[in-house]
Amino acid sequence: MYQFTDFEYLNTLNEEQKVAVKTLHGPVLVLSGAGTGKTRVLTTRIAHLLMTQTTKPWNIMAVTFTNKAAREMKERVSSIIGSAAEQILMGTFHSLGAKMLRQHAELVGLKKNFTIIDVDDQLKLIKQILSNHNIDEKRLPAKLFLNIINSWKDKGLTPDKISDNLTNSTNNEKQIYQEYQIKLLQSNCVDFGDLLTQPLELLRTNTDVLDQWQSKISHILIDEYQDTNTAQYLWIRLLCSKTNNICCVGDDDQSIYGWRGAEVKNILSFSKDFENAKTIRLEQNYRSTKKILEAANCLINKNNARLGKNLWTQNNGDENIEISSVYDSSEEAINIGEKIEEKIRDNKKLSEIAVLVRTISQMREIEERFISIGLPYRVVGTKFFDRLEIKDAIAYVRILCNSSDNLAFERVINTPRRGIGSTTIKKLLDISRLEDIQLFHVGENISTYENINLPTKDKINKFIKQINEWKTLKFTQEPSELIDMVLEETGYYEMWRNENSEDANTRIENLKELLISISKFDTLEGFLQHVSLMTDNETNNITGEVTLMTLHASKGLEFEIIFLPGWEEGLFPSSRSLEDSGDVGLEEERRLAYVGITRAKYEVHISYASSRRIHGLWMSSFPSRFLKELPEELSSKVVVSDYNLYDENINYDYQNQTSNPGYGPAWKRFSNNTNYKQKLFISSNSPKIKEISNDEFKKGDRVFHIKFGMGRVANANGDKLEIHFDKAGNKKIKSNFVEKK
């Protein structure tokens, strides 16, 4: 048990951090800039609540967005107060929502052993519903309805709360949502969104439950408050309304997840939402150099929707932000690779270097370049539990834990193939729907159905018998050993062994890795809960590799050296964000740029191309407006390319393009925009392709091509040229497509 001390743990905090830690009552917003030690403040504040005997550990709720953050928080609190940290109600919004839901499952028509389904299973359910309504999925795909349903759940809207102005009646969106929820309930399943909406409904509609939780929780602490959506916000408001002892830590300048439901207004309106709220700003940065912070401050100060703060540091550094102009994405990838090789020669660790891109499509060329020069790298984003073989194995786990799980049953009944085809499965689904019973129970009573032939009945009976035998072994056998047995006895291992390929071997290795994961849990149910609540951004770079990831995935991380490619209008800021959300979208894009810059400790390298291949077409582009917002005295410009297809002296009309609905990276409507025609691309001294007589070209001539750049003529035969390009290799091109230099 923790003991009262002289609070020596406060000695490591600066003055602003101490104020945040010591302010223990009432609503508190800790506005924590990048690299200002928010995790230390949050964990020390929890410890201080207990060390001052303000409350008991079981009366504290601490909420994070990832399991990794929750584990780190618990470890840090434990280092101060010891084992008492185990009694704190600590976890993600979804894990805490699941805990509340399991405790009161019967009040929403669920059993306590409900299954949490994933996206694939959500889509299967919706496809079944669309088929029942004879809705053409080519015209109205299941993913469309899923996105709509998820967005409603992010807002805390159950089917009965969907107003007519939120739905398209011709598409039956509300009805699909209602039937989807009914099917989930019948299967004793919930989806990820239900872990927010169902607990919210519990508190809204059951005063006894609300009183119970309000009495239980005296203090609430929320990490990354700027990333909360409406459902999370409403849930927290209800839980803390009795004591009003809520501390939210966040940074409005790092609110970058609006596209997945996050509402920056939650943090911006904190002082209005909570009476007598106190705002504490953490502005001393312990990560980046002074020049990096000053540049980031200048950039983010262009945003209007922000509470305002100014990061500062005692870390001096000589390096300006480097801004490189390149001809195209290929040259950009080559330039990044060369710079990283220079860092290696300077004894920099690869694990301290990251390339952060705006879109996943930017990664391909960079990856190919890294492979060609033998540069070790890793891509953040591949999800182990999304792999085919892992999903199949987990479906077996699910059916052993919850025989009412129709989606799991449908996935495994013919995996591996056991002669139960799609026609039979459709018959089983029809019986399940017409008789309002679960697929597993249809299987148990398969002998009573005349529309199923005898050989198929025997196969189904055998399968049901196997499942029941495995379910019995759940209580006597180690979870990992049981699943290993299931995969062996079903022939699942044998299926991949028979394929006898490298891919199949990898899949078997993945399954063995899954067993290791299962072995860490006492029950299969505990393992399933863990898998369902895992987030996709938990990474640990322990090897000597350059990290390649999106800007969105980089939030919360730090590296010594950062590369930021693709800073061009339309790509960054994204034209889609500007078209969909106007100035609101632009400000979120600027926050994303701010996040990217503030990941760096010592060096930031930004690059932009004058042409880039978009949707298979080569498009000219011009520098991102964000580059203009960086102070010239804090940046150093490097011209990598021999040719620039823009004029740096032109004052581009960025503001007009923000509100212009025709603006986009593909620029399909570009030709109709006279403003662009007047202000973009070719300056008076830029290269222009011209008509040249064939006899002007001879072997050895230097030439320029709009796509491939500089090259030398290897052979000339009339208007047909063989050219060795400096960076694109050998090409055969007609003479009227190149310019002699």
Q: What is the pLDDT of residues 672-716, one digit of tens each?
A: 433 333 333 333 333 333 334 445 788 888 888 766 778 899 988
Residue 200 has pLDDT above 50, yes or no: yes
> Is residue 353 within 8 Å of residue 544, measured between CB atoms?
no
Residues in the chain, overall count: 741
State the sign of the Cα–Cα–Cα–Cα dihedral 120, 121, 122, 124: positive
- In this prediction, residue 317 carries a pLDDT of 83
- In this prediction, residue 671 carries a pLDDT of 34
Averaged pLDDT of the chain? 86
- Give the tens place of pLDDT for each residue, 104-147: 999 999 999 999 999 899 999 999 999 999 988 878 888 889 98
State how far the Cα of 482 lies from the Cα of 211, in Å rounded to an integer.
42
Mean pLDDT, residues 188-211:
96
Q: Which of 22, 23, 39, 186 is catalytic?
A: 39
- Residue keyed to tokens 């200048």: 298
State the sign of the Cα–Cα–Cα–Cα dihedral 261, 265, 271, 274: negative
Q: Which of 17, 36, 38, 588 is catalytic?
A: 38
State how far the Cα of 573 lies from the Cα of 663, in Å rounded to an integer.
11
Q: Which of 174, 287, 599, 612 is catalytic?
A: 599
- In this prediction, residue 668 carries a pLDDT of 35
- In this prediction, residue 519 carries a pLDDT of 85
Residue 654 has pLDDT above 70, yes or no: no
pTM here is: 0.75
State how far the Cα of 704 lies from the Cα of 694, in Å rounded to an integer.
15
pLDDT cut 90: percent of the chain above it? 59
- In this prediction, residue 290 carries a pLDDT of 95
Task: Spell out the CATH class of 8-104+196-284.
Answer: alpha beta
> Is residue 367 within 8 Å of residue 559, measured between CB atoms?
no
- In this prediction, residue 281 carries a pLDDT of 97
Q: Indicate the pLDDT class of residue 739, thresholds 50, 70 and 90.
A: confident
- Residue 599 falls in the annotated catalytic set: yes
- Residue 359 falls in the annotated catalytic set: no
State how far the Cα of 575 lies from the Cα of 420, in Å rounded to an integer.
48
Residue 504 or residue 649, greater confidence: 504
- In this prediction, residue 666 carries a pLDDT of 31
Q: Indicate the pLDDT class of residue 386, thresholds 50, 70 and 90.
A: confident
- Residue 38 falls in the annotated catalytic set: yes
Q: What are phi and psi of 674, to 5 degrees?
A: -65, -30
How far is C-alpha 392 from the chain's CA centre?
23
Q: Which of 36, 181, 254, 550 is catalytic?
A: 254
Mean pLDDT, residues 434-450:
91
- Measured between alpha carbons, how far is residue 285 from residues 210, 551, 599, 611 in Å? 40, 20, 12, 37
Residue 521 has pLDDT above 90, yes or no: no
Residue 335 has pLDDT above 50, yes or no: yes
Token couple for 680 = 């973009």
Lowest mean pLDDT among 308-317, 459-468, 698-707: 698-707
Question: What is the Cα gyration radius of the chain?
Answer: 29
- Residue 352 falls in the annotated catalytic set: no
Yes or no: domain 321-381+541-679 corresponds to CATH 3.40.50.300: yes
Residue 561 has pLDDT above 90, yes or no: yes
- Residue 224 falls in the annotated catalytic set: yes
Helix, strand or coil for residue 82? helix
Q: What are phi and psi of 562, to 5 degrees?
A: -120, 135
Q: Indicate the pLDDT class of residue 481, thresholds 50, 70 and 90.
A: very high
Residue 741 has pLDDT above 90, yes or no: no
- In this prediction, residue 198 carries a pLDDT of 96
pLDDT cut 70: percent of the chain above it? 87
> Is residue 316 within 8 Å of residue 522, measured between CB atoms?
no
Q: What are phi and psi of 684, to 5 degrees?
A: -60, -25
Q: What amino acid occupies position 59?
A: N
The CATH-assigned architecture of domain 384-533 is: Orthogonal Bundle (1.10)
Mean pLDDT, residues 606-613:
88
Q: Where are the domains of the chain?
A: 8-104+196-284, 115-187, 321-381+541-679, 384-533, 694-740
- Residue keyed to tokens 């196969």: 459
CATH domain 694-740 topology: SH3 type barrels. (2.30.30)
Lowest mean pLDDT among 332-341, 356-365, 380-389: 380-389
- In this prediction, residue 667 carries a pLDDT of 32
Considering 521-530, 589-598, 671-680, the range whose residues carry the highest mean pLDDT is: 589-598
E-state strands within 39-160: 60-64, 89-92, 115-116
- In this prediction, residue 651 carries a pLDDT of 63
Task: Kindly give, in sequence order, each residue whose CB lies less than 8 Å from that of residue 572, ignoring residues fewer than 6 positions away.
Answer: 358, 566, 589, 592, 593, 624, 626
- Give the tens place of pLDDT for each residue, 28-58: 999 999 999 999 999 999 999 999 989 999 9
Token couple for 117 = 């389904």
Q: Which of 179, 223, 331, 587 is catalytic?
A: 223
Residue 409 or residue 652, greater confidence: 409
Mean pLDDT, residues 496-500:
75
- Give the tens place of pLDDT for each residue, 249-291: 999 999 999 888 899 999 999 999 999 999 999 999 999 999 9
Residue 529 has pLDDT above 90, yes or no: no
- Residue 223 falls in the annotated catalytic set: yes
Residue 662 has pLDDT above 70, yes or no: no
Q: What amino acid occupies position 657?
A: Q
- In this prediction, residue 660 carries a pLDDT of 38
Residue 156 or residue 673, greater confidence: 156
> Is residue 336 within 8 Å of residue 372, measured between CB atoms?
no
- In this prediction, residue 5 carries a pLDDT of 58
Residue 495 has pLDDT above 90, yes or no: no
Do 8-104+196-284 and 321-381+541-679 show the same overall fold? yes
The CATH-assigned architecture of domain 115-187 is: Orthogonal Bundle (1.10)
- Give the tens place of pLDDT for each residue, 82-115: 888 899 999 999 999 999 999 999 999 999 999 9
- In this prediction, residue 68 carries a pLDDT of 87
State how far the Cα of 514 lies from the Cα of 529, in Å rounded to an integer.
15
Residue 500 has pLDDT above 70, yes or no: no
Torsion angle (degrees, nearest 10) of CA 187, 191, 196, 201: -30
